[in-house]
Structure 1
Amino acid sequence: MSFESFVALRYLIARRGQAFISVISVISILGVALGVAALIVVLGVMNGMSTDMRDKILGVNAHLVIASVDAKIHNPAAISEKASEVQGVTGVTPFVYYEAMLSTRHGVKGVALRGIDPTTASSVLSLSRDIFEGKLSDLNVQSGPPGIILGSELAGRLGVRKGALVNLLSPAGKRTAAGFVPTVKIFRVVGVFKTGMFEYDSSLAYTSLPAARALMNLEDDVVSGFELRVDDVDRASEIGKEVNTAIGGFPFYTRSWQEMNANLFAALKLEKVGMSVILIMIVLVGSFSIVTTLVMLVMEKTRDIAILMSMGATRKSIRRIFMLQGMIIGFAGTVLGYALGLGLCFLLQRYQFIELPKGIYSMDHLPVLLDWVDMTLIGISAMVLCFVATLYPARQAARLLPAEALRYE
């Protein structure tokens, strides 16, 4: 152990008559620890919410969507084959999208109806994993009314479960002598799904492509677009450009999940940055308490500093002693903060004791995801602030003149 480290540790462990210095040191350590712990927990929760929301959005929606300015795409087999040949595309499924009305004796609700191909949809969407009543393949059953799969909130509002009959009203009706008549067809509920996002669970319904085309009076070779899954979600936009080139460009275009949800994730990123700036102030407060501790220690140890300098200690050594004291306090506070923050995050992950109200948030419990890049930056930021806090007291201690300090002793 070096001379400076020995003296720094000795000064931090105060004697009985100097216990007040130790109390302030403990308060400084706790201040840094609380700041670090708060940063770890809040950033973990923000990362968890962003990732949870992204996963749920990418479960219900695809990574990429191919659409046409004409709103209709003919000859879907050829487009699907060209898109699937692009490197990075792992799944392609056609869809038909329409807005309609569902009605039962318990009520009426507007829905976003999506006609899908159950055979290929499971390779792109998470619907097969989200269904807790029925199976995705039940949409292919030919006997009886066509099948439909409803979100859990939607099914609850309409008062239906698997096996129930619902009326589906489409605005794409026919003109008759009596005027415009909407199309009304009976569907059988063959499944209920739950994504955990209230917006989807309360407004989405799925049926087969033939049933959706029949309801909307579309030809057998017409789809609204294609949903694609890629091997790297962060490269979805780049792969989308390659897909657009492969299918011939205009009138087709592609949109990635980043483009379709840009405002949402930009807002989440801004919240994360804002919370980080606010909470780093707590660490800053803790670092200011280090300044107070060291200034009082310099005042208390004026005679000791003068004696050390008289015995040959250099100003650089005196400066290093007090800088080491501050860094020891900062390191102890950072380590304690990591222990508190990581411990609380572990409890939140394991026991999920903080429940969130349904219909307001997209998840039932507070999610936590620890990003080790963030964890490293938190530790570095805390230590840098603590180091800066030591500069002024250490500089003042090194500027003491032994003769002046010992004049009245």
Structure 2
Amino acid sequence: TQGDSGIQRKGIILGKELARSLGAYTGDLLAMMSPSVRMTPLGIIPKIKMVEVVGIFESKMYEYDSNLAFISLSSAQSLFGMKNRVSGIEIKVDDIDAAGHIAVVIQKKLGAPYFARGWMQMNKNLFSALKLEKITMFIILILIILVAAFNIISTLFMVVMDKAKDIAILKSMGATRASIMKIFSMQGLIIGVCGTALGCLAGFTIVPNLNKIVGFIEQLFDIEAFPSDVYYLDELPSQIQYFDSFLIIVFSILICFLASLYPAWRASRLDPVEGLRYE
């Protein structure tokens, strides 16, 4: 924030993007025009109020920085001809997740014609889009894991074919089907654990440094990866959801293990005579 954090009687605080679009700086005078008009001998004249820019704020949300400005309550009431009335009241709650419940309680107490809305309800379309995006990303992740599982199946099938002689020798020496199956299922499990561990290491390293990586790529290729006027944010927010990560880790390892069972079963069913026939 630049300038005086307190709003003077005739001062205004502009959002960073709004100030840039207006070409306004701290100390400049702006003419504010009200929707209400005055009747004069010269006709209808809009109500205009001169205010001084006393500060510029930045919330890192393009929608707010490009559309919001703050003036004192008395100046706003005078400009809009509202006297001692207000058009709305915003309250800050300690628990943001309880905002919807608090809004319902307030609505019941106030009744009509007043209404109360929580911050999630006010941004319902945005959160609906984010929820859909999260579901889509989860489906894509499942498909990636399934592709990896099919790769494990094909890899183990090739190993079984390549090790047919060794399997036949083990069986001729008294190895049971269960022990053969255990060998190949453990191999699939090890592949899944190692792959998941490498993925976790990469993810837990990249996510906390995501904005630094994006900034480096932007400088390297002279591009703007996430324009604030398109994505509403000047940086990419990221947070590790440990519970979701745990579920994905368990699911990935489980899928890899299950994918190894069929090749392991085929290996355990290999006839030692067939395996040694051409040796």
Q: TM-score, normalized by length of structure 1?
A: 0.62
Counterpart residue identity of residue 376, structure 1: F
Tell me the amino acid that sits aligned with residue 241 of structure 1. Answer: V
- The answer to whether the Cα contact below 8 Å between 1:348 and 1:354 also exists between their aligned partners in 2 is no
Aligned to 1:362: 232
- Give the corresponding residue for 1:301: 163
Kindly tell me the number of residue pairs found equivalent between the two proteins: 271
Residue 353 of structure 1: which of 216, 219, 229 is its match? 216
Query: Percent identity at matched positions?
Result: 46
**Which consecutive residues of structure 2, in runs of 5 or more, have no partner in the other structure?**
219-225
Residue in structure 2 matched with residue 397 of structure 1 by the alignment:
267
Counterpart selection for 2:3 from 133, 150, 160: 133
Aligned to 1:252: 114
Partners of 2:106 and 2:270 lie apart in 1 by 72
Which TM-score applies when normalising by structure 2?
A: 0.89
Aligned to 2:131: 269
Kindly indicate whether residue 61 of structure 2 is the aligned counterpart of residue 191 of structure 1: no
Give SS of 1:225's match: coil
Higher relative contact order structure (alpha carbons within 8 Å, sequence separation ≥ 6): 1
Aligned to 1:217: 81
Superposed CA deviations along residues 45-72 of structure 1, whole A, max 9, x for unmatched, are: xxxxxxxxxxxxxxxxxxxxxxxxxxxx
Q: Is the 8 A contact 1:154 1:203 kept in 2?
A: yes
Greater strand share, structure number: 1
RMSD: 2.0
Change (3 A) 1:381 1:346: same
CA contact (8 A) 2:33 2:49 kept: yes
| 1:144-163 alpha-carbon deviations (Å, 9 max, x no partner) | xx111111122122222111
Letter in 1 for 2:92: R
Residue equivalent to 1:152: 16
Which string of whole-angstrom CA distances, capped at 9 and with x for unpartnered residues, describes residues 276-307 of structure 1?
Answer: 32243333322222112211111122232233
Task: Between 303-312 and 168-177, report the one with greater CA deviation.
Answer: 303-312
Shift of residue 236, structure 1, vs aligned partner: 1.3
In structure 2, C-alpha distance between the alignment counterparts of 1:358 and 1:250, rounded to whole Å:
38
For 1:304, the aligned partner's letter is: D
1:333 to 184, 195, 202: 195
Partner of 2:91: 228
CA contact 1:197–1:361 (8 Å) conserved in 2: no
1:96-175 superposed matches below 5 A: 131-135=1-5, 137=6, 139=7, 141-142=8-9, 146-175=10-39
Deviations 1:206-239 (A, max 9, x none): 101111011111122x111111112221221111
Query: In 2, Cα distance between the equivalents of 1:361 and 1:404?
Result: 63
Cα distance between partner residues in 1 of 2:60 and 2:202: 30
Give, as a single letter, the amino acid of the residue that structure 1 aligns with 2:74.
Answer: P
Cα distance in structure 2, aligned partners of 1:397 and 1:306: 10
What CA deviation, in whole Å up to 9, does each residue of 1:356-377 have, x standing for no partner? 3232222223332111122112
